[in-house]
A = this chain, B = another copy of it.
């Protein structure tokens, strides 16, 4: 089989022999595309300052009309140098520079007809080499006789040295909510992953356990205590399955090969394309400083520009509160009654006996609206407002929710008027239960309903096995679904926050109304058993967030959860200090940030709450000051709408002091720093809610020493003196 694929996908170089080399704009990265001999697959090699970063094979196995497509010779070489700057609708910085050198290899058949069973075709491999890494993709142009194309496998691979340390999630087609495992790369895989029995739906990647998800973070030691940080992921995953990574069986854990998420017709076909077609970009971000990895815009730069042209004033980065955490901490429920086994079509929900623990009641939502209005939050999310929660999960049931019928105790019109009178918006909630056919056919009516009732934004959810049965969250069909939903929302000027979606790949550049996704293990897991480790939030920005913003739902003040429900939450707690929850608004970049805790929790600590009220969600500038995956992150950001700066610092279970030089501040300008820090005796486990707020005047010459408790953090507001 290997020999056949090699034969199939071979680069012969009758015209252009040997290797092609490309350098990054700063000259430090070098890419070589190598064609060793006709018997082997083409390959690439990426070096930084002359040192090997990774190398591997190239190629897609493609079929059209039952014939394999042959493209074994270089027909053309094109290159380009790009240096532009673009302005995101929202982001970590006001402008983004996009600078790369490009090499496009056009592969085809040069002489005579191909062997029997093969059809001659053209495939372009396009490389874009930035100062901070490489992106490449495969393109199948429109060409005579080749319209519909099926992808039978992808041969792209990545080789890393034995010494690489990895932070990884086990391969899975349906969930990315595992905790991260850190291990030598060669030991990674489902069987050695941290167990996560709390994830109900796990579909470990076929064919075996030796697969990993992306973004995959690697740290490779170099000589002299230096390291390379490498992030493997993809950009612009559209109309193509998500890439996972499988260890090549014979390579002792050194070589990872692209493994595409199965569709229902596995193992025959992974993707159905129509020419002209392009794959997502395979991305390798490389840095010798961990902070530079966090600052990389490579994935955004490989995505298409925004398709939302004209007025974008309706795309509003924002903070929100919601009827949500109170369900997680067992104070109320999504459901309205204790009935079970209900059928949506023939249940009169007004006749059910309420259990009187329903969260989304008119009265309770008004309480949140009042709270939002009082404290300046523009939006209130309400989950559990619509009928169906009595029987919504676990049965692979198609008719779950209709997205338009409220429970009897949720008065849509009254709340619409009440929210409007308080100048607060309600955020719609569309939990699909994974029943996507049901959601798609009800979507037009659901969006009409949103617009008729003044909802400018929606949080979607995909908890459960996907219908169409046989499809997966990370497959091609679902990748199209997620983009389609973003597009439908954009047409109606609606914002969206997707939960349980495929992990992002920078598509928020193209669809900036797609403010955030969950697509990772959020703060909510702290409300259940095992929770998240204190290191968790120091890993996420190096992994999941490489693809885009996360709705992590920070801001939990009531760290010990038995406060809310002694019986149900015994021993449960968020695994950070309170001050670290504040810092997360900085370290976990997102244009959509929840103040996730209950109003009571905030009203009990108005001084700390002030920080959440103050912190922006859209930035003019960002500086990653210190960072080490799994250990700590310190970041400073400048508000897009004022001269104020903010700093967030977090640590894992180790206490530390972070020295922050304020030399990013404009010279001569005075700032008042408000420092929200862990109290001296604070500790994520034993004393998490002890914090201390101090104030001092600072300038660009000042140095702050932020003391972080075990599992702690610090948040700083630097308000320019007016």
Chain A positions within 8 Å of B, measured between CB atoms, are 142, 147-148, 263-265, 272, 274-275, 340-341, 343, 391, 394-398, 437, 440-441, 443-445, 468-471, 477, 480, 484
Q: A272-B397, A275-B341 are in contact. Are A437 and B468 (CB under 8 A)?
A: yes
Contact among B397, B445, B471, B477 with A148 in the assembled complex (CB-CB below 8 Å): B397
Contact among B395, B396, B471 with A468 in the assembled complex (CB-CB below 8 Å): B471
Q: A468-B264, A468-B469 are in contact. Are A274 and B440 (CB under 8 A)?
A: no
Whether the pair A340, B147 counts as a contact (CB closer than 8 A) is yes
Q: Which residues of B contact A480 (CB under 8 A)?
A: 398
Q: Which residues of B contact A142 (CB under 8 A)?
A: 341
Count chain B CB atoms within 10 A of each CB in A275, A445, A470, A471 and give the residue with the most. Answer: A470
Contact among B272, B340, B397, B443 with A396 in the assembled complex (CB-CB below 8 Å): B272
Q: Which residues of B contact A396 (CB under 8 A)?
A: 148, 272
Count chain B CB atoms within 10 A of each CB in A275, A443, A468 and give the residue with the most. Answer: A468
Copies of this protein in the complex: 2
Contact among B272, B341, B441, B469 with A440 in the assembled complex (CB-CB below 8 Å): B441
Contact among B272, B343, B468 with A470 in the assembled complex (CB-CB below 8 Å): B468
**Nearest CB in chain B: distance from A340 CB, A:** 6
Nearest opposing residue in chain B for A272, CB measure: B396
Complex Cα spacing A391 to B480, Å: 20
Q: Which residues of B contact A264 (CB under 8 A)?
A: 264, 468-470
Whether the pair A469, B469 counts as a contact (CB closer than 8 A) is no
**Nearest CB in chain B: distance from A567 CB, A:** 25
**Nearest CB in chain B: distance from A467 CB, A:** 8
> 7 A–B contact pairs at CB < 8 A?
A148-B395, A148-B397, A440-B441, A441-B484, A444-B444, A468-B468, A468-B469
Contact among B147, B443, B484 with A341 in the assembled complex (CB-CB below 8 Å): B147
Complex Cα spacing A659 to B444, Å: 60
Q: Which residues of B contact A437 (CB under 8 A)?
A: 437, 440, 468, 477
Q: A147-B391, A396-B272, A397-B148 are in contact. Are A469 and B341 (CB under 8 A)?
A: no
Q: Which residues of B contact A471 (CB under 8 A)?
A: 468-469
Complex Cα spacing A46 to B432, Å: 47
**Nearest CB in chain B: distance from A298 CB, A:** 27
Contact among B274, B443, B477 with A343 in the assembled complex (CB-CB below 8 Å): B274
Nearest opposing residue in chain B for A481, CB measure: B437
Complex Cα spacing A468 to B480, Å: 13
**Nearest CB in chain B: distance from A642 CB, A:** 42
Q: Which residues of B contact A397 (CB under 8 A)?
A: 148, 272, 274
Q: Which residues of B contact A263 (CB under 8 A)?
A: 469
Nearest opposing residue in chain B for A396, CB measure: B272
Count chain B CB atoms within 10 A of each CB in A437, A440, A445, A484 and give the residue with the most. Answer: A437
**Nearest CB in chain B: distance from A443 CB, A:** 7
Nearest opposing residue in chain B for A344, CB measure: B274
Complex Cα spacing A398 to B263, Å: 14
Complex Cα spacing A272 to B396, Å: 8
| Contacts beyond the supplied A437-B440, A437-B477: 8 A-B pairs with Cβ under 8 Å | A147-B391, A264-B468, A265-B469, A272-B395, A275-B341, A437-B437, A468-B471, A469-B470
**Nearest CB in chain B: distance from A510 CB, A:** 15
Q: A444-B444, A468-B470 are in contact. Are A395 and B147 (CB under 8 A)?
A: yes
Contact among B148, B343, B470 with A265 in the assembled complex (CB-CB below 8 Å): B470
**Nearest CB in chain B: distance from A516 CB, A:** 24
Complex Cα spacing A477 to B468, Å: 9
Q: Which residues of B contact A147 (CB under 8 A)?
A: 340-341, 391, 395
Nearest opposing residue in chain B for A277, CB measure: B343
**Nearest CB in chain B: distance from A469 CB, A:** 5
Complex Cα spacing A315 to B249, Å: 64
**Nearest CB in chain B: distance from A203 CB, A:** 13
Q: Which residues of B contact A477 (CB under 8 A)?
A: 398, 437, 468-469
**Nearest CB in chain B: distance from A268 CB, A:** 10
**Nearest CB in chain B: distance from A271 CB, A:** 11
Q: Which residues of B contact A274 (CB under 8 A)?
A: 341, 343, 395, 397
